[in-house]
């Protein structure tokens, strides 16, 4: 091989025909890049994990190009790839609305048809700033100004459009897939700063095939049908309002579901050897400084002042758990100590990131902290993974995936401590029989962690549980135990949660089940509905029998047609409707109507026994 050969030449040399980019020594590059003869090269075809992202990134440039042609005075900002698509932020005097999406898509198809050659140019930082300033692209010039580099790369579509980008990209606009669709418009502050320009953010999706696009749009429609906010309204579970942004107003039925889930978790952890505690909501700044959270997390804390002191409303429970551990002298014989807390936390999330129960400011974690010795990390990790798997299965998630997050760039502690923590956690995970993927650089600032990811019934992934190994916090806060050698030692602290937060997990459950949660979780399990008013006494008798068995039952004796009643309770997702008519009273039968529309008439005692069996919670 020549010492100077492009990716295109290498494709021809190897008989590769459908590559869109290449990975050279682990780095994704354009096909026009020059490859050295000793490089390890992997071609990126449409089946490659990187392919869709590269194509989408090029499509985002095409969209920016189209926007500039339609509204020449528009200023382009950033256009990254995101899950299932991409977006582009622009500043434009013209208000972009969904009604204009067809017009933008038409212009994008024109640019694709023109088949511009896409070329990469390396420029000095100063020349790039000058170029983008001259063509009145202030956002690009600002981005370059803030880069700590000598040179930057830009990408051209012929000589008509240029954008700042690292790449890689497709070689021609004509190679962009025609299966794209603009999805929605939103507002976004420049660089996430509410004091800066408000930009228009246009979201889009793109796929290699029409089948993939159609499948995605169908799943999107299904996801909208399952939207937990709509379901919560139909079921009268909770609401949110502007006067308390990011916090939930739980209605009686929603609070019932919340407490059922919480009580179930309590039973599981009590059986697994945890003790439950409760720590204060507000803690003095000094403790957060000592723990390191003030430096790392201050911007996300809500602050209060009293008697000249600065207090923080807790965003996490960890420092409080350490204070409980520190009360009294602990011996190695006492370890492990498993301290659980359903701690109500508040985090000052950006208003634009808030989303129903999925992203909130006020939430309750099913939190726990395990204080153990170095030798106990392995057994405690395995024990936790078994508990987590049982809970997920009981809640309807038979499988989950695991991500191993190692040391982030900004962290505390020495590399030697991090090496030990990562090695121990990896070993315990492997011995737990769990496969994992590496989530590089995404560990907590104090230690590595496992992230447990659930997949719902329409294929979406939700990161819920975590397990974090912490060598740092007990030492910082002065927690110790007396070892077998009679000396003081700092315990290892395992931070762990299964659900993550109760609020978010209820949102996930509502979307996973489209509101028809398992009967043991349903806030109302049975409705007793009469066909005519003269059956009210008999209906009350049935209601009492069900109620005395501890079944969550409601009575519907309204002067409405039975079809109206059934329709109303189907909408509010009640699992079982007991229909009582004259024939049922006469024969001492009950007619049970199930969620799928089927119904069955059976003797009253048999029907009640059947309902009771269906409502049984999982065995803890």
> Torsions phi, psi of 206, nearest 5?
-155, 150
347 is catalytic: yes
Residue 323 pLDDT:
97
Indicate if the pLDDT at residue 2 is higher than 60: no
- Tell me: pLDDT of 151 over 70: yes
- Reported as a single tens digit per residue, the pLDDT across 334-350 is 999 999 999 999 999 98
**Would you state the structure tokens that stand for residue 592, as one six-digit string?**
């049970």
Give me the catalytic one of 347, 411, 496, 538.
347
Q: Any catalytic annotation for residue 495? A: yes
Out of 318, 372, 385, 615, which one is annotated catalytic? 318
C-alpha distances in Å from residue 407, one per residue of 23, 429, 443, 551, 571: 25, 17, 5, 49, 48
Residue 4 has pLDDT above 80, yes or no: no
The DSSP H or E segment spanning 190 is none
The CATH architecture annotation of domain 526-614 reads 3-Layer(aba) Sandwich (3.40)
| Percentage of the chain lying above the pLDDT 70 cut | 100
Is there a catalytic annotation at residue 536? no
Catalytic residue among 200, 365, 376, 525: 365
Average pLDDT rounded to a whole number, residues 163-190: 95
613 vs 577: CA distance, rounded Å: 15
pLDDT of 55 over the 50 cut: yes
**SS3 of residue 197 by DSSP:** coil
Q: Which pLDDT score, from 0 to 100, does residue 88 have? A: 97
Average pLDDT in the chain = 94
Q: Look at the domain 51-224 and name its fold.
A: 3.30.980
User: Active-site residue 166, yes or no?
Assistant: no
Out of 65, 68, 407, 495, pick the active-site residue: 495
Q: If we measure between CA atoms, which residue out of 66, 111, 72, 64 comes closest to residue 94?
A: 72
449 has catalytic annotation:
yes
Give yes or no for a contact between 534 and 585, defined as CB atoms under 8 angstroms apart.
no
Q: Which of 400-414, 487-501, 510-524 has the lowest mean pLDDT?
A: 400-414
How far apart are alpha carbons 502 and 261 in whole angstroms? 8
Residue 489 catalytic? no
Q: What are phi and psi of 253, to 5 degrees?
A: -70, -40
Catalytic residue among 449, 538, 565, 573: 449
Every domain of the chain and the residues it spans: 5-43, 51-224, 251-512, 526-614
Q: Is the pLDDT of residue 1 over 60?
A: no
pTM for the whole structure: 0.82
- Confidence (pLDDT) at 46: 93
pLDDT band at 595; cut points 50, 70, 90: confident
Q: How confident is the model at residue 3 (pLDDT cuts 50, 70, 90)?
A: low
Of 228, 369, 383, 489, the active-site residue reads 369
Q: Please state, in angstroms and as integers, the Cα–Cα distance from residue 579 to each residue in 310, 566, 583, 593, 594, following that order.
A: 60, 9, 11, 7, 11
51-224 against 526-614: fold identical:
no
CATH number listed for the domain at residues 251-512 = 3.30.930.10
Q: Which of 30, 163, 366, 367 is catalytic?
A: 367
């Amino acid at each position: 091989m020549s010492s100077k050969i492009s990716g295109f030449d290498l494709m021809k040399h190897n008989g590769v025909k459908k590559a869109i980019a290449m990975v050279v020594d682990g780095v994704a590059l354009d096909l026009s890049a020059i490859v050295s003869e000793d490089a390890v090269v992997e071609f990126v075809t449409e089946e490659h994990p990187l392919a869709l992202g590269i194509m989408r990134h090029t499509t985002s440039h095409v969209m920016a190009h189209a926007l500039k042609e339609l509204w020449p005075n528009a200023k382009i900002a950033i256009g990254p790839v995101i899950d299932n698509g991409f977006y582009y932020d622009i500043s434009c005097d013209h208000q972009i609305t969904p009604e204009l999406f067809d017009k933008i898509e038409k212009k994008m198809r024109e640019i694709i048809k023109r088949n511009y050659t896409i070329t990469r140019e390396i420029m000095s930082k100063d020349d790039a700033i000058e170029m983008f300033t001259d063509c009145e692209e202030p956002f690009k010039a600002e981005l370059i100004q803030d880069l700590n580099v000598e040179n930057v790369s830009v990408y051209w579509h012929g000589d008509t459009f240029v954008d700042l980008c690292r790449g890689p990209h497709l070689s021609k606009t004509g190679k962009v897939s025609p299966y794209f669709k603009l999805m929605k418009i939103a507002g976004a502050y420049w660089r996430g700063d509410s004091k800066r320009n408000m930009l228009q953010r246009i979201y889009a999706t793109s796929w290699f095939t029409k089948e993939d696009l159609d499948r995605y749009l169908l799943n999107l429609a299904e996801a909208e049908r399952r939207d937990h906010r709509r379901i919560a309204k139909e079921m009268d579970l909770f609401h949110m309002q502007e006067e308390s942004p990011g916090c939930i107003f739980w209605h009686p039925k929603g609070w019932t579901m919340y407490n059922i889930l919480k009580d179930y978790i309590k039973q599981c952890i009590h059986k697994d050897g945890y003790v439950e505690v409760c720590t204060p909501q507000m803690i003095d700044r000094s403790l957060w400084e000592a723990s390191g959270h003030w430096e790392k997390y201050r911007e996300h804390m809500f602050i209060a002042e009293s008697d000249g002191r600065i207090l923080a409303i807790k965003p996490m429970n960890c420092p409080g758990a350490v204070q409980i551990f520190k009360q009294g002298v602990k011996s190695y014989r006492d370890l492990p100590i498993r301290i659980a807390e359903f701690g109500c936390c508040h985090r000052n999330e950006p208003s634009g990131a808030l989303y129903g129960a999925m992203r909130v400011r006020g939430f309750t974690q099913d939190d726990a902290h395990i204080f153990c010795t170095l030798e106990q990390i392995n057994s405690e990790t395995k024990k936790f993974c078994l508990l987590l798997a049982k809970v997920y299965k009981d809640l309807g998630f038979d499988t989950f995936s695991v991500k191993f997050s190692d040391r982030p760039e900004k962290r505390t502690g020495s590399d030697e401590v991090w090496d030990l923590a990562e090695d121990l956690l990896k070993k315990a995970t492997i011995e737990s029989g769990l496969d994992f993927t590496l989530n590089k650089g995404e560990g907590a600032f104090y230690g590595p962690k496992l992230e447990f990811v659930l997949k719902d019934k329409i294929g979406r992934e939700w990161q819920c549980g975590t397990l974090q190994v912490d060598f740092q916090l007990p030492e910082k806060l002065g927690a110790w135990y007396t070892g077998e050698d009679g000396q003081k030692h700092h315990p290892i602290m395992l931070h762990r949660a299964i659900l993550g937060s109760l609020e978010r997990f209820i949102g996930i459950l509502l979307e996973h089940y489209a509101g028809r949660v398992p009967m043991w979780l349903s806030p109302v399990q049975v409705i007793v509905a009469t066909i005519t008013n003269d059956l009210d006494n008999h209906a009350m008798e049935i209601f009492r029998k069900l109620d005395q068995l501890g079944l969550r039952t409601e009575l519907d004796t309204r002067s409405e047609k039975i079809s109206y009643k059934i329709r109303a309770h189907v909408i509010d997702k009640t699992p079982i409707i007991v229909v009582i008519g004259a024939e049922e009273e006469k024969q001492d039968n009950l007619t049970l109507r199930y969620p799928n529309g089927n119904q069955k008439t059976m003797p009253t005692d048999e029907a009640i026994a059947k309902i009771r069996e269906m409502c049984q919670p999982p065995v803890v």
